[in-house]
Structure 1
Amino acid sequence: MRRAGARARTRKNRPFWVELPLLIGMALVLALLIKTFLLQAFSIPSNSMQDTLQTGDRVLVDKLTPWFGAEPERGEVIVFHDPADWLDDVPVDEPNTVQKVLGFIGVMPSAEDKDLIKRVIGVGGDTVECAGDGPVKVNGTALDEPYVFPGNTPCSDDEGGRFKVTVPEGKLWVMGDHRQASEDSRYHQDDSTEGMVPVDEVVGRAVVIAWPLGRWSTLPVPDTFDNAQGSADHPAPAAEAVLDPGGITLAAAVPLVVLRRRRARR
């Protein structure tokens, strides 16, 4: 009994600086788990999604939903791995070792240079088409796209901007909101995936702009996609509100720290 009491007093009197490395380690492990299974931060490197996303914005991407078999829907803003060397001609700054480590853990936005972010316009079974200046049509229904960059037209009257495609199952047709400054599915129809993004290459859905604070906002599905008639397997999605996940890391870490401190006192 005396030995047990001595150990309890030792834990109770242990200074906070002794526990600090353990708390930091717990926080890093928690951040890694969240980044792997729940949320991951990404930094926007270009203006292809203006005005929805600006260069330098940090977005949080939902990685949990795909674990339950959900696939991207029309109107969602998604992050995906480069499907067929779309970024071959794009210069990328090589991250240093610290940035790579912090990006891997999830403390900093991902430094991965082979990820892109676009809006899903068509899913498997959809027919997507553009002619002249637009509008974009999905299964014959014209989209009203208020998110398109001011001054842009929904379609581009050029070789890549004029198209009519049927999206295969398991693939996505994506376009940037800055239509005249986005090298998206339209301009990669000659590559190995014919401009399509395999669902398996999707990292997750961008759900919130987390930084800078003055631009904090969610990224819901625009109402126009309610009217795009879908196939039996992919009905038109309902508009939805997205919960703010921005404080999830802190909210999860605090109870663990408090619980441990209470046990130490006892």
Structure 2
Amino acid sequence: MNDIPVKELANGVKIPQLGLGVYKVSSEQAYETVSNALKIGYRHIDTASYYQNEEEVGRAIRESGIPREELFVTTKVWNDEQGYDRTLRAFEQSKERLGLDYIDLYLIHWPVTDRFPETWRALEKLDTDGEVRAVGVSNFLKHHLKTLMETAIIKPVVNQIELHPKLVEKSTIAYCKEQGIEIESWSPLGRAKYLDDPVLVELASKHDKSPAQIMIRWHIQNDYIVIPKSTKKVRQQENLAVFDFSLDKKDLEKLNQMEAGERVGSHPDHITR
């Protein structure tokens, strides 16, 4: 079917290294988008309450005919849902919208400064109660993680951050590696802003691949989990076709030199609510 590698998280749960993100996929598009992805081999779907498409994502999963245990589903608690009791309620609402008995990975979407420690306590309860198979965070920089670790009983197993060759949070990534936290890349293609970069164009020509495939392969070879988004089946197939070639050392060096601290999303320190 495909050769998507599987990574083992610190708690022993296995996650496909490449999945499908559905940020900004409308509720009208979400069912077909996820259905097509599952048909061509995706087994890892990443959504969030904020995306307002959990219901359609869940329906596509349930109607796919694929055994639930073969799928990996992530969702997230949004900023205004944070806090201990609110998070537990938000989780139940997400689970109900998805129509699933359990969630594979539940994340704090953003580090709302005065709320995320209590929010994490709720995620720990969900983990302990067996409602989720794994818990983690999203958009946490090193200093947020260090604050979380001061009171956490269970360590996050994933930190999902904006990551692409133009933005590499080296200190956060290094800290996560030290702590056994897997890095997952959102916006791994930089929202297509950099696909005409000369380095990507050169390497795409060299490997007879697209610039997007070069970027995804960079994530794979850096051992990141990666969730590119596409509503088009042909693009979904293209994003999946990255396991039949490798970037060599010089290729990786050229890609690493693209780093410029350029964000396409919000800065985690600017999130207050």
- TM-score band by shorter chain is under 0.3
Which has the larger strand fraction?
1
Q: TM-score, normalised by structure 2?
A: 0.24
Q: Which has the higher contact order (CA 8 A, sep 6+)?
A: 1
Which has the larger helix fraction?
2
